[in-house]
Structure 1
Amino acid sequence: MSDNKKITVMTLAFMAFSTVWGFGNVLNGFIYFNGIQVILSWVMMFVLYFIPYSLMVGELGSAFKNSGGGVNSWVYDTIGPKVAYYAGWTYWACHITYIASKGSGSLKALSWAVFRNAETYDTFPTIGVQMATLGVFLIGCFIASKGMNPLKKLLSLAGTSMFVMSILYIIMMLAAPAINPGADYVTIDFSLKNLIPNFNIGYFSSLSILVFAVGGCEKISPYVNKVENPSKGFPKGIIAMTAMVLVCAMLGTIAMGRMFDPVVINASEESFNSYAANGSYWAFQKLGEYYHIGDTFLIIYALCNLIGQFSILILSIDAPLRMLLDNEKTAQYIPSGLRKKNKYGAYSNGIKLILVLAGAIIVVQTFLPGAAAVLQQLTRLNSVCMPLRYIWVFVAYIALRKAYDRIPAEYRFVKNQKIAYFFGGWCFFVTLICCIMGMYNKDPFTFAMNVITPVVLTALGIIMPKLAERERAKESGK
């Protein structure tokens, strides 16, 4: 790539920012960490986890610039095919809970776009909502089984518009008190006592939500060597992106603090669930009220979210499955039946497995007391399962450093091997421990789901190579 086509530091920073950050991260941090008390937690998460995580991804991307499989390829090249299979399985399995949440998210967005209130959706019988969610999920599976991804452009459009609206919310909410001083705002207490979190079991069991929020920057790894002066330009871009995310987290939290009172949010379990499920919609609805344009912002946000949620549902059924089953290097560990394609080129049996696993989660949640409780539990479940895929980034990084002389990289996070091992191990254990602590919940049903789901998905991943081995033995007549 010629110098005039190289990616600038700020271009990389904006690319990474749009990949990592979203409006939901601000909302979840505010709700689950008692309002502005999350500010200190964000700072600690960025300094102790997010920055080293991002810079390690940069080194991996630089070392494997020609590998298109991401984490799977990194693990394959540093450790071997079987471990690479487990990395691919983890990435796919983590999406099962994510897929189960997208149908509920779509229906919630549709309800807000039509009824413009939380009460209508939240008062629907849970069994009715979950059956409708199952219907949306079945439609997504049907489209994915046809080998079609017709919503990719819509997904890109919705993702961009959601990013723009997130920034717009922060700017307009911070400006609202000056433009409309007579509106109803919450007074924020910035005293030190109010900023220090309460380090109790609820705090530590929610840390996985913050880990989930800042993860996923490995998607930008292919661009490391396309940056101007990668050894200096990439870390500068990552640091700039981190600063942008930190500023948005801080300002977004303050903006939300002028709008919502944590005392009201935490008044009861029902109130908390309602804010967790509807907070983003209330935020844009209130913003429209401050600027005297009614529900305009709300409707735009709800429609963007509706398109995005359904598009992500289809892509999450299709893309992770292809990443797992398209990899010929790890095909020996997967039964041939699971790799069967239909006439459209879709992995039909793989989609059926997704249907069983994600469908079971949807059906089990019919026992929850209300639609809002379902969405709150899915947020918790995703925060436990989804970050588990990040541990393979750190496994690959430690393995890369062990092959320091064998596998060169134009960019290195740090030169000292002991420091590199420390950060790789540190981020690995932070991710794992936060996910394990995130399993705890005072509600026995949610606690059980948080434990059983990853255990079942892990067990399936261990069983698959055994089934594939038995299949080969049978075919060879042994």
Structure 2
Amino acid sequence: MENRKKMSVMALVLMIFASIFGLGNVTTAYYQMGYGAIIWYIAGAILFFIPTSLMFAEYGSALKGSQGGIYSWLETSLGEKPAFIGAFVWYAAWVITLLSQFSTICIPISGLIFGKDTTQSWHLLGLNSTETLGIIGIGLLCLITWLASRGFDKIEKVASASGIVILAISGLFIAASILMLFFNHGHLAQPISVHAMVSSPNSQFKSPIAILSFFVYAVFAYAGMETMGGTIDQVDKPERNFPRGIIYAGIGMISIYALGIFLWGVTANWNKVLGANSTNLGNITLVLMQNLGYTIGREIFHLSVHQALIIGNWTNRLIGFEEMMSLFGSMIFLIYSPLKTILMGSPKRLWPEKLTKLNDHKMPAFAMWMQAIVMGVVIFGVSFGGRDAQQFYTVLTDMNNVTSSVPYLFLIFAFPFFKRVQNLNRPFEVFKNQRVTDTICAISWITIFFGIIFTIIQPVMQHDGYTAFWTAFGPVFFALVGWLFYRHAVRNEETVAQEELD
């Protein structure tokens, strides 16, 4: 089991795409900002994604023998206590992300089967639709946990297959849009201008605060590269291939995001296609893909309205398949990597022995199933608990909006200290000048910090104090839980040591 073949650069790139990239990020960007999203996604790449990816590559290549990912990076730079708290906040954010994924996985499955979202009419054994979706989500949670616990090679295979599907369908979308552009002699359904490149057609993104808050969406579209740190020990020649994989995947994502946002304007006029009240963040991808298929049917093949609508339903099935595979690839990776990072990277003395024990496939199976039980209880409670439980889930989601960004503040803040650590072999090094490093880290840190502040301010401006409070309280709450857990573990350790002395 231990001598399994290591991941190649291409396998790592596919895994990165499976766990991070989403065509839905492109459709969300176009819905919220139109062409104006391109500038913000490029800004997000320049100010956040490129510098932090290079930082993570340096962290990972220098600490390639470590299994701890983000914990090991922070512990080497800042020490054990801040590393544990930062890693705990990071882990909590990814668990909430997983909960969201398992709660919504049925929507792309419905899109694949029916060509549209029919989940509100799903009923199983007399249960209502919400309860039925909860049961299906729990079943998939158990299936994916079981599969992931069978070994990293299973995770790699699913994630690689997902990455191939994502790239293939993204390529089909790009090819179809370029074909439409050619047939229309360069005419765009959404007119492009200097004004369109810096403003939004969406009435909710007209104010400066709302526009600046969109930057957080651009950051989230690239978020997750640090999760790869938990897989570095699975990469062949990691000191060379881990940085390469991050850089190749990064260039690919930036290119597809920018090109994709522009290409939606080929077939989708914002006011005509997206201006209806029925369009929202939940169904925006299906709306745009159906319109793409319909437009191709009408303008290229000159089909009837009915026949063009059928083409639109099949493009919805295609995007349903892509989104389903994207979620499966992401979930099977996130079931394992964040948990492995915090358990195997942090000192084993902080955890019960059973949680850190590996099975025959070298996986922390017991911990993975404990994680699945906790998540299953939450999904069950939300699904069967009525309005109060749904409100609880809304609170979790609001908390996660900022909680997901806060660990980057830890990682960026720690990097200058990491650069000052002596006696480290650094086979991959981009940031060689300390003053330049400090400046770049300061710019990236301030970028994330103000993105967080604007995310909190926006609901305040909309007189939604409830959302603003929970958005701001999330990272504080999880940091407090992490600190209490760490203090409890250390005190227990000191008590045991004292008893042994006595």
The normalised TM-score by structure 2 is: 0.74
Partner of 1:196: 198
Do structure 1's residue 384 and structure 2's residue 402 form an aligned pair? yes
Do structure 1's residue 132 and structure 2's residue 132 form an aligned pair? yes
* Residue 38 of structure 1: how far off its partner (Å): 1.0
Do structure 1's residue 300 and structure 2's residue 318 form an aligned pair? yes
Distance 2:386 2:268 in 1: 29
Partner of 2:263: 255
DSSP-derived class of the 1:206 partner? helix
Choose from 426, 435, 438 the match for 2:455: 438
Do structure 1's residue 84 and structure 2's residue 83 form an aligned pair? yes
Matching residue's letter, 2:348: A
Do structure 1's residue 465 and structure 2's residue 486 form an aligned pair? yes
Matching residue's letter, 1:256: W
Instruction: Return 5+ residue gaps in structure 1 as ranges.
Output: 1-6
* Residue 367 of structure 1: how far off its partner (Å): 6.3
Matching residue's letter, 1:451: A
Residues 23-71 of structure 1: CA deviation (Å, up to 9, x unaligned): 1221222122x21111221222222222222222232233223334322
Do structure 1's residue 316 and structure 2's residue 337 form an aligned pair? no
Do structure 1's residue 421 and structure 2's residue 438 form an aligned pair? yes
Instruction: Return 5+ residue gaps in structure 2 as ranges.
Output: 1-7, 200-205, 298-309
Distance 2:292 2:402 in 1: 32
Number of aligned pairs? 452
Moved more, 10-19 or 393-402: 10-19
Partner of 2:168: 164
Partner of 2:306: none
Matching residue's letter, 2:267: M
Do structure 1's residue 103 and structure 2's residue 111 form an aligned pair? no
Moved more, 189-198 or 135-144: 135-144
Choose from 189, 192, 204 the match for 1:187: 189
Matching residue's letter, 1:346: F
Matching residue's letter, 1:258: V
Moved more, 70-79 or 466-475: 466-475
Distance 1:42 1:147 in 2: 35
Choose from 239, 245, 249 the match for 1:225: 239
* Residue 359 of structure 1: how far off its partner (Å): 6.0
Is the Cα–Cα contact under 8 Å of residues 61 and 240 in structure 2 kept in the other structure? no
* C-alpha spacing 1:199/1:169, structure 2 compared with 1 (3 Å): same
DSSP-derived class of the 1:205 partner? helix
Partner of 1:3: none
* Residue 322 of structure 1: how far off its partner (Å): 2.8
Is the Cα–Cα contact under 8 Å of residues 146 and 346 in structure 1 kept in the other structure? no
Distance 1:340 1:14 in 2: 29
Residues 412-442 of structure 1: CA deviation (Å, up to 9, x unaligned): 3232211111212322332233234324433
DSSP-derived class of the 1:406 partner? coil
Distance 2:326 2:18 in 1: 15
Distance 1:460 1:364 in 2: 25
Distance 1:281 1:389 in 2: 32
Distance 1:186 1:86 in 2: 49
Aligned pairs for 1:203-352 within 5 A: 203-218=211-226, 219=228, 225-226=239-240, 244-263=252-271, 267=275, 270-271=277-278, 274-292=279-297, 294=311, 295-310=313-328, 312-327=330-345, 329-334=346-351, 345-347=365-367, 348-352=369-373
Partner of 2:28: 28
Matching residue's letter, 1:40: I
Distance 2:220 2:259 in 1: 20
Do structure 1's residue 402 and structure 2's residue 420 form an aligned pair? yes
The normalised TM-score by structure 1 is: 0.78
Moved more, 104-113 or 18-27: 18-27
* Residue 462 of structure 1: how far off its partner (Å): 1.7
* Residue 169 of structure 1: how far off its partner (Å): 0.6
Distance 1:19 1:138 in 2: 20
* Residue 265 of structure 1: how far off its partner (Å): 7.1
Partner of 1:4: none
Distance 1:330 1:264 in 2: 57
* Residue 362 of structure 1: how far off its partner (Å): 6.5
Choose from 399, 407, 411 the match for 1:393: 411
* Residue 13 of structure 1: how far off its partner (Å): 8.1
Distance 2:254 2:386 in 1: 35
Is the Cα–Cα contact under 8 Å of residues 109 and 303 in structure 1 kept in the other structure? yes
Aligned-pair identity in percent equals 20
* Residue 203 of structure 1: how far off its partner (Å): 1.7
Residues 285-340 of structure 1: CA deviation (Å, up to 9, x unaligned): 3333344472333223313433443464454334422322234x423334668668
